[in-house]
Amino acid sequence: MKQVRNTKAKSEVLDLINNSDTALSHHIIHEKLGDLCNRVTIYRILDRLEEEGHIHKIVNIDGVVNYARCNSCQKDLHNDNHLHFNCKKCNEVICIENVIPRIDIPKEFIVEEYNFIVSGICPKCA
């Protein structure tokens, strides 16, 4: 069995994401952590946190990967099939969990996950 390491850097990254109202990019996380750890370590931590079901990835309208907390995920079962809003002014990505789009896929397809990005202007920027 693989041992899960809980380092100070991992705890700090998870705290940053858990305490944010918006999804955070790797760049923002690295900026906020300062000299605590390097870029590669942050990528490894983010991968581990996603594998453990603590966070999920969102690709914004510019192709930048952002990370947000999971509210009802487990290690082997991510449940992040909700809407994400990407503000065109401030570039923040916000999880909108109470809106789940309806998708009609032909029966021969097996859907495992999806990622919906809606773009526009958030209430802060309107």
Q: What's the residue count for the chain?
A: 126
Query: Which pair of structure tokens corresponds to residue 21?
Result: 């109202």
Q: Does 73 count as an annotated binding residue? A: no
Q: Does 125 count as an annotated binding residue? A: yes
Counting Cα atoms < 13 Å in the Cβ hemisphere of 120 gives 6
Q: 86, 63 in Cβ contact below 8 A?
A: no
Q: Does 122 count as an annotated binding residue? A: yes
Among 74, 72, 85, 82, which Cα is nearest to 21's?
85
Q: Does 90 count as an annotated binding residue? A: yes
Which parts are annotated binding residues? 87, 90, 122, 125
Which parts are annotated binding residues for Zn(2+)? 87, 90, 122, 125
